[in-house]
Amino acid sequence: MNPSPGGDQVQKLRATNAKLKKLGITRGSVVTSFIGRRVQPLQKRAHPGFRYEGPNDPSRFIPDELRPCEIFKRTCQVLDDV
């Protein structure tokens, strides 16, 4: 058992984050994905986000697609360093 705050769960999350970073996944790419898919991060979903089914996904907030430049603009509004 890990005595630090959060214990083993925090260590597992850090290890997972490190693996994802090596794959090139950034917080910007995650935000861009949510904005482009028009899925609200905290809304109740029909299934986990990694099982996204495309434009007709029941978790989609709005069925209309955004242009890439609009997705980028909105991502920049959320993250200052993108």
* 19-51 per-position pLDDT tens digit: 999 999 999 998 898 888 776 666 677 777 778
Average of per-residue pLDDT across 6-21: 88
- Asked if 24 and 31 touch (Cβ cutoff 8 Å), the reply is no
CA distances from 75 to 28, 29, 42, 49, 80 (A): 7, 9, 17, 18, 9
The yes-or-no verdict on residue 4 having pLDDT over 70 is: no
The yes-or-no verdict on residue 3 having pLDDT over 70 is: no
Whether the model clears a pTM of 0.85, i.e. scores above it, the answer is no
What does the block give as tokens for 74? 């909105």
The yes-or-no verdict on residue 63 having pLDDT over 90 is: no
Q: What is the average pLDDT score of the chain?
A: 83
